[in-house]
Amino acid sequence: MRIANQICIITGGGSGIGRAASLQFAAEGGNVVVADLHLDAAQATVDLITVAGGKALAVAVDVGDSAQVQAVIAKAVSTHGSIDVIVNDAAMMTFTPIVDIVEAAFIGHRQAEASAKRRGWVEAEDRRPTGAPEA
C-alpha cells in the first residue's frame, strides 16, 4: 500500500473523480482531507470512507481563493502534522455546446485553473517533512 499512513489532500473530493480518488486513497490506508467547494458533498465522501473503516476529514474550500487554500493546508498540518500528497481535482465546468463557447470564456477558465494551481498549493511544498520525497 503506497498510500498507507500518508496525509492526502484531495480537492474536488465531494464528487466524481475527486470522490473516487478519496475513496481509493482511504482504502489504501491514507488519511484523506476531502476538500470541496460544497462541504456537504465533502462530508458525504467522508461518511463513505469512515463507514468502510477509513480515516478522513471534510473541509470546504474554493481553490480560487488563496486564503481558503492556505486554511486547508493549515488544517491538514494542525490535524496531521504534515502533508504528503495533494491531488488538485477541483475545476470549473461550463455546460455549453462547443459551438457556443467564445474564446475569451474558454481562456478565462483555463487562466483561473492555472492561477489556482499556482496559488496556495505551491506553498504546501514548503510544509513537507524534512527528507520527504519530491513529488
**Each residue's pLDDT tens digit, 19-60:** 999 999 999 999 999 999 999 999 999 999 999 999 999 999
Secondary structure class of 81 (helix, strand, coil): coil
The verdict on pTM exceeding 0.75 is: no
Domains of the chain, start order: 7-127 (3.40.50.720)
Phi, psi of 16 (to 5 degrees): 55, -135
DSSP count for the chain of H helices, then E strands:
5, 4
H helices within 2-134, ranges in order? 16-27, 39-51, 66-80, 103-118, 121-124
pLDDT tens string 69-112: 899 999 999 999 999 999 988 876 666 665 665 554 555 555 55
CA separation for the pair 58, 27 (Å, rounded): 16
